[in-house]
């Protein structure tokens, strides 16, 4: 893992890295399983002066990708949307979640857009339930922006300290992240 981490830090300063970040941020909001944070964090650690620019790119592309997810939910749920939901094994959770959408709409987008909850589920559910497009766009921009700018701000301010911590405890951090992801997935399957 150390070699991968060092490689990602090295590649993060390459010109094409911004394009990769933009593509992942866009795709993660509708179909891709890996969150852009995994690319955003090393890119900021590699060049802290780009933190705000990278957070802006990540936010814009995530919101635009969210509209693709909305479109999948609104117009292609029977053909594409259900396959994405089934791919993650979230069928029953998705339908219970959709019922809550009818009641809480934009607040759900605003809250879950900040959390590690798979944002693609939110965007597709917004389309399936035909959440007001303006409400969806504003809630997405606020929540995704808050998430990525919070990461950027923390890394910009505490960058050297965080980088030393990550480099020292990389193995343990990866283990903790994997455990959190597994617990989150289990929680989605059985709680919702």
- Report, in angstroms and rounded to the nearest whole number, the Rg of the chain calculated over CA atoms: 17
Owning domain of residue 128: 2-191
Residues 6+ apart with CB under 8 A from 10: 46
**Residues 114-155: pLDDT tens digits?**
877 788 888 988 998 889 999 999 999 999 999 999 999 999
pLDDT of 190: 61
Q: How confident is the model at residue 187 (pLDDT cuts 50, 70, 90)?
A: low
**Top-confidence residue, 191 or 142:** 142
H helices of 47-132, in order, are 51-75, 82-87, 91-112, 119-128
pLDDT of 1: 58
pLDDT of 46: 83
The CA–CA distances, whole Å, from 107 to 78, 112, 143 equal 25, 8, 10
pLDDT of 189: 60
Q: How confident is the model at residue 188 (pLDDT cuts 50, 70, 90)?
A: low
Per the prediction, the chain carries an average pLDDT of 84
Q: What is the DSSP string of 164-191?
A: HHHHHSHHHHHHHHHHHHHHHHHHHHHH
Structure tokens at 35: 């969150």
Kindly report the backbone phi and psi dihedral angles of residue 17, in degrees, each rounded to the nearest multiple of 5, phi listed first: -60, -35
Indicate the pTM of the whole model. Answer: 0.78
Name residue, tokens 């409400």.
135
Average pLDDT over residues 89-106: 78
Is residue 11 classed as helix, strand or coil in its secondary structure?
helix
How many domains are contained in the chain? Answer: 1
Q: Which of 82, 110, 106, 114 is nearest to 95 (CA)?
A: 82
Neighbours of 143 (CB within 10 A): 25
Q: Which of 97, 52, 49 is nearest to 73 (CA)?
A: 97
User: On the CB side of 134, how many CA atoms lie within 13 Å of its CA?
Assistant: 0
8 Å CB contact between 98 and 104: no
Average pLDDT over residues 105-116: 83
């Amino acid at each position: 893992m150390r070699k991968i981490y060092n490689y990602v830090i090295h590649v993060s300063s390459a010109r094409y890295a911004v394009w990769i970040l933009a593509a992942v941020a866009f795709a993660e909001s509708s179909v891709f399983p890996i969150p852009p944070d995994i690319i955003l964090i090393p890119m900021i650690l590699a060049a802290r002066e780009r933190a705000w620019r990278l957070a802006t790119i990540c936010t814009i592309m995530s919101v635009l990708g969210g509209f693709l997810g909305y479109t999948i939910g609104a117009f292609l749920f029977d053909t594409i949307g259900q396959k994405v939901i089934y791919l993650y094994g979230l069928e029953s959770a998705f339908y219970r979640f959709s019922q809550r959408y009818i009641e809480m709409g934009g607040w759900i987008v605003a809250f879950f857009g900040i959390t590690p909850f798979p944002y693609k589920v939110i965007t597709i559910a917004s389309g399936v339930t035909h959440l007001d497009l303006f409400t969806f766009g504003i809630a997405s921009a606020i929540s995704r922006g808050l998430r990525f700018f919070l990461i950027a701000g923390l890394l910009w301010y505490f960058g050297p300290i965080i980088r030393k911590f990550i480099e020292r405890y990389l193995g343990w951090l990866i283990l903790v992240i994997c455990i959190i992801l597994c617990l989150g997935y289990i929680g989605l399957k059985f709680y919702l």
